[in-house]
């Protein structure tokens, strides 16, 4: 038992969640976990989820458990991912919002949904892009998680955009997307399932004057057919058959 206790710090980094079923697979039975909780080595935060006693765990530590212990593709995306990469230039007022993305069949466990995390968590299940495409590792304090890289994150922002202000913000975020590889952008645009996202992404890239946009092969990107009106009373862009906010025209 002492040997197993000594291994716990390496198995459960500070700031992360440990799942009961995962611990069982590592040789820590239900009875042993109960003894650890009774000895104040572990503290329960929900059904089947624990943390090291006295530890403070944010949503990042919970995502770590989903990815490393459940092999889930759930990851921070959109503005949250851009913030992790230091590319979100907006000031968030009030309670923080966390944006997570997963595939259509993936659900957040009950312990995750019922815990506070000090933030409002938005979870979007979508096949906008394949699992793992455009996702990279973000180093945190003592552990790392996978999150959308800036290109995918911006596509996720466009996927969630619904009004003029959100599209204008996407335009501002696009201006900072200057150090990307055309081949990687090309691959994501070809894999993206949203015509709206692809048309608007290409338009904003041209509007920002990014040189990498000149190296994209539009013939290999399915932009669909017919007009797309993203906002009411906007300006029509014939090249992409879309109506955009006038402030972006």
Q: What are the residue ranges spanned by the domains of the chain?
A: 2-52, 161-249
Question: If DSSP codes are grouped into helix, strand and coil, which group holds residue 5?
Answer: helix
CA dihedral sign, ordered 171, 177, 182, 183: negative
Q: 150 with 158: CB under 8 angstroms?
A: no
Give the model confidence (pLDDT) of 109-165 as tens digits. 999 999 999 999 999 999 999 999 999 999 999 999 999 999 999 999 999 999 999
- Residue in the block written with tokens 């058959």: 241
Q: Is the pLDDT of residue 9 over 60?
A: yes
Q: Which of 71, 73, 75 is nearest to 85 (CA)?
A: 75
Q: How many CB atoms are closer than 10 A to CB 222?
A: 12
Q: How many CB atoms are closer than 10 A to CB 185?
A: 24
User: How many degrees, rounded to 5, is the angle at CA 113 between CA 69 and CA 108?
Assistant: 45
CA 38 vs. chain centroid, Å, equals 36
Give the model confidence (pLDDT) of 12-67 as tens digits. 999 999 999 999 999 999 999 999 999 999 999 999 999 999 999 999 999 999 99
What span, in angstroms and rounded, lies between the C-alpha atoms of 106 and 125? Answer: 7
Q: Is the pLDDT of residue 95 over 80?
A: no
Give the model confidence (pLDDT) of 169-184 as tens digits. 999 999 999 889 999 9
pTM value is 0.93
């Amino acid at each position: 038992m002492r040997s197993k206790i000594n291994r716990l710090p390496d198995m459960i980094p500070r700031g992360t969640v440990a799942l009961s079923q995962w611990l069982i697979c590592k040789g820590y039975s239900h009875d042993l976990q109960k003894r650890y909780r009774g000895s104040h080595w572990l503290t329960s935060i929900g059904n089947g989820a624990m943390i090291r006693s006295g530890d403070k765990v944010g949503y990042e530590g919970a995502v770590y458990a989903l990815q490393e212990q459940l092999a889930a593709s759930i990851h921070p995306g959109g503005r949250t991912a851009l913030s992790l990469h230091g590319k979100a230039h907006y000031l968030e007022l009030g309670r923080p919002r966390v944006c997570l993305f997963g595939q259509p069949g993936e659900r957040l466990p009950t312990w995750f949904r019922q815990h506070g995390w000090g933030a409002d968590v938005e979870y979007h299940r979508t096949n906008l892009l394949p699992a793992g495409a455009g996702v990279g590792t973000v180093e945190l304090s003592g552990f790392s998680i996978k999150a959308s890289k800036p290109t995918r994150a911006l596509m996720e922002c466009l996927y969630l955009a619904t009004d003029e202000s959100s599209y204008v913000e996407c335009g501002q975020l696009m201006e900072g997307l200057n150090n990307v590889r055309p081949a990687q952008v090309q691959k994501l645009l070809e894999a993206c399932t949203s015509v709206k996202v692809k048309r608007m992404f290409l338009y904003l890239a041209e509007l920002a004057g990014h040189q990498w946009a000149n190296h994209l092969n539009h013939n290999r990107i399915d932009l669909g057919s017919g007009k797309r009106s993203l906002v009411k009373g906007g300006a029509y862009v014939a090249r992409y058959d879309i109506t955009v906010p006038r402030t972006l025209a």
